[in-house]
Amino acid sequence: MTLKKLSVVAKFSDRNVMATNMINNANRGLMMGCLRVFFRVSVFMVGTFIDH
């Protein structure tokens, strides 16, 4: 009985860890994308500012 419970808990925690890793990776990707877009926009703004 206890072994069965432990295995269920282990499976559940594994799933939780996988889900958290996926969420963390998604958040990191979003942050990197936002930073990239911000960098491009700032470079574009600086370029137009220098042109004018």
Report which residue type is found at 42. Answer: S
Predicted TM-score (pTM) above 0.85: no
pLDDT at 52: 66
Nearest alpha carbon to residue 26 among 38, 12, 34, 15: 34
Report which residue type is found at 30. Answer: L
Q: Which residue has the tokens 């926009």?
A: 41
For residues 2-25, give the mean pLDDT: 85
Between CA 12 and CA 19, with CA 13 as vertex, the angle to 5 degrees is: 90
Residue 37, both tokens: 């877009």
**pLDDT for 17-35, tens place per residue?**
888 998 899 989 999 999 9
Q: Estimate to the nearest angstrom the gap between the alpha carbon of 49 and the chain centroid.
A: 33
